Amino acid sequence: MAPLLHLRDVALTFGGQPLLEGAEIAVSAGERVCLVGRNGSGKSTLLKIVAGLVEPDSAERFVQPGATIRYLPQEPDFSGYKTSLAYVEAGLGPGDDAYRAQYLIEELGLTGEEDPASMSGGESRRAALARVLAPEPDILLLDEPTNHLDLPVIEWLEQELKSLRSAMVLISHDRRFLSSLSRATIWLDRGVTRRVERGFGEFEAWRDEVLAQEELDRHKLDRKIAREEDWLRYGVSARRTRNQRRLGELHGLREQRRTARQAVGSVRLEASEAQASGKLVIEAVDIAKAYDGRPVVKDFSLRVARGDCIGIVGPNGAGKTTLINLLTGALKPDSGKVKLGATLEMVTLDQRRESLDPATPLGDALTGGGSDQVMVGGTPRHVISYMKDFLFQPIQRGTAVGALSGGERGRLMLARALAKPSNLLVLDEPTNDLDIETLDLLQELLADYSGTVLLVSHDRDFLDRVVSSTLISDGDGVWTEFAGGYSDMLAQRGRGVGAKARAVPVKAAAAEPQKLSSTAGVANTRRKLSFNEQHALKTLPQQLEKLQAEAGKLNAALAGDLYTRDPRLFAKATARLDEVTREIAQTEERWLALEMLREEIEA
């Protein structure tokens, strides 16, 4: 099938550094393609080139005559429009249905009379979506379409996009959204695109295979260079003509190794943990809060135990942030009481990054100013070293916070939050603007965090991977707790956010304190293993086998004459054996606890 649009050999350089080098993208009628890559890899820039908004240094561009293209930017421009409806209708072409513009405005929860100058981020995003969807173009280019949207709108958008005949190119950090819509994946990595005819659900396994092969090829190249260098030192007395040829080949190999662009490093996430809190972290009894007569929280009770990770979901305006402020003592309830546990050390990551002064240099935002040291868990770290853990370059130390990208501001907020000792993490939309690889590392950090986590998120996949129970708004100030992640909540409740429950949930409220629900003590009839617990039960036995095998090898090595041959290696092996022994004990203890929990639930 001839493509509707085809770009090839796209090259673009910013600040002397090549951003795109021979990138290619092709879209045929009806195709659903996701464009993925690390933050800063050039995804948004490539999409703007496709849309004709950015001129590359060089490229071959073909668009089928008469094909219509609509582009959704991350930051739409509303200047010159008096209402949201006027903005949407301005995107219609000759022959387009004006009624569809009004239909989409209403479906997305707008009236059409909103003043663009005073619209919130979520309202702006919904108006921009209505503008690009209304003409039903041949090709839709969507850059982070779920940003600033709540779960009901995200799920509506998924179904709407599935019903369209338009071809699509999607950029998003929302795994569930990409997996549901994409049928092919373009991976932009180190300026080059690779395409695989699989949806995002199969992309990550393929990407890991590609990177593993690259590592093997790099190792082979290093060995070949080492052999040629050895020949250069000891074999120069051979025939001169042949020597010059081999010398030239060696210079070529070195140049190949020098110019190869290696994969961008990973963010190093490690939370600074404080002294363990008491077993009871938060106890809320019949709390209520209303604004202007509208209940936001009503007759709500909850017990939060040490180690719980509780997800809080609901439509925008449901009161998620208010509920967190009530539970953490930042806001007093109108009635009821909240009791906080002993020795709590809380760290909060706010949703809008409001604690970041745009004029503050990046280095000062981490150190507090006047120093080149960052206190990480009570230990000083040089600011440049700590910046590198979060993929910032040393040259960015003096960059103003306001000049950072959304993803960089997200990483900066994480860096600030994780440096402080804590045993209670409060994360309000921590996944905003983070790339998928950083989300993976944040997920691993939360899984290993021994403290307690309160998490507000619209990312369904992230909730499934992290939380042990989910609090959802049922409207009119009613909040209900369900065991497990978002998918577990769907199975128990019957429908998603914004729908009334039809199944008996894990009760989040009770008349007496002793009947309060808890993620640690949910009744067996409703309790089920979380995603992380199920995964651990499957993988812990294999981990034990590997650890025991390693311990056996270390014991065998130490039993010989290793100390006589290499005392330093003997000391290293002894230290590693101690570590492995501790890991075996911890793994066995965790597996045994999960097995007991599983048997208790099944009984």
Residue 422 and residue 417: Cα distance in Å, rounded? 9
Q: Which residues of 304-327 are buried (b: 16+ CB within 10 A; e: fewer)?
A: bbbbbbbbbbbbbebbbbbbbbbb
Q: For the chain, percent helix, then strand, then coil, each to nearest 5?
A: 45, 20, 35
- Tell whether the torsion through CA atoms of 206, 210, 211 and 212 is positive or negative: positive
Nearest alpha-carbon partner for 72 in 26, 155, 135: 135
- Mean pLDDT on 71-96: 91
Please give the model's pTM, rounded to 2 decimal places: 0.68
The residue assigned the tokens 């921009």 is: 128
CB atoms within 10 A of CB 80: 9
H-type alpha helices, 79-199: 84-89, 98-107, 121-133, 151-163, 175-181
Tokens representing 147?
């940003």
Can 5-204 and 531-602 be said to share one CATH topology? no
Q: Please check whether residue 68 is in contact with residue 135, taking contact to mean a CB–CB distance below 8 angstroms.
A: yes
Work out the mean pLDDT of the chain and round it to a whole number: 81
Residue 454 and residue 481: Cα distance in Å, rounded? 13
- Mean pLDDT on 182-187: 94
Least confident of 249-263, 383-397, 400-414, 499-513: 499-513
Beta strands in 190-293 (DSSP E): 192-196, 280-291
CATH code, 5-204: 3.40.50.300
- 130-157 tens-digit pLDDT: 999 999 999 999 999 998 888 889 999 9
What single letter denotes the amino acid at residue 142?
Answer: L
- 270-319 tens-digit pLDDT: 666 666 777 889 999 999 999 988 999 999 999 999 889 999 998 888 88
The pLDDT assigned to 396 comes to 86
CB atoms within 10 A of CB 176: 22
Nearest alpha-carbon partner for 465 in 490, 440, 494: 440
Strands 32-36 and 184-189, bridge-based pairing: parallel
Residue 297 and residue 291: Cα distance in Å, rounded? 10
- Tell whether the torsion through CA atoms of 346, 350, 354 and 360 is positive or negative: positive
- Tell whether the torsion through CA atoms of 547, 550, 555 and 558 is positive or negative: negative
- 578-603 tens-digit pLDDT: 788 878 877 877 777 777 777 777 76
- 99-118 tens-digit pLDDT: 899 999 999 989 999 999 88
CATH code, 280-345+421-515: 3.40.50.300
3-state SS, residue 603: coil
Q: How confident is the model at residue 501 (pLDDT cuts 50, 70, 90)?
A: very low
| pLDDT beyond 90 at 529 | no
Residue 329 and residue 306: Cα distance in Å, rounded? 17
Half-sphere exposure of 316 (CA within 13 A, CB side): 15
Residue 51 and residue 312: Cα distance in Å, rounded? 37
The pLDDT assigned to 48 comes to 94
Q: Please check whether residue 533 is in contact with residue 590, taking contact to mean a CB–CB distance below 8 angstroms.
A: no
CB atoms within 10 A of CB 337: 11
The residue assigned the tokens 């990483």 is: 411
| pLDDT beyond 70 at 241 | no
3-state SS, residue 517: coil
| pLDDT beyond 50 at 516 | no
DSSP-derived secondary structure letter, 479:
E
H-type alpha helices, 424-530: 436-448, 460-466, 486-493
Return the domain boundaries, the chain: 5-204, 205-259, 280-345+421-515, 531-602
- Mean pLDDT on 496-503: 51
DSSP H or E run through 590: helix 567-602
- Mean pLDDT on 218-242: 60
Tokens representing 227?
């052999």
Q: What are phi and psi of 340, to 5 degrees?
A: -100, 145
Q: Please check whether residue 464 is in contact with residue 487, taking contact to mean a CB–CB distance below 8 angstroms.
A: yes
Q: What are phi and psi of 71, to 5 degrees?
A: -120, 130
The pLDDT assigned to 526 comes to 43
Torsion of Cα atoms, 292 then 294 then 299 then 301, to 10°: -90
| pLDDT beyond 80 at 218 | no
Write out the CATH class of domain 531-602.
mainly alpha
Rg (CA), the chain: 28
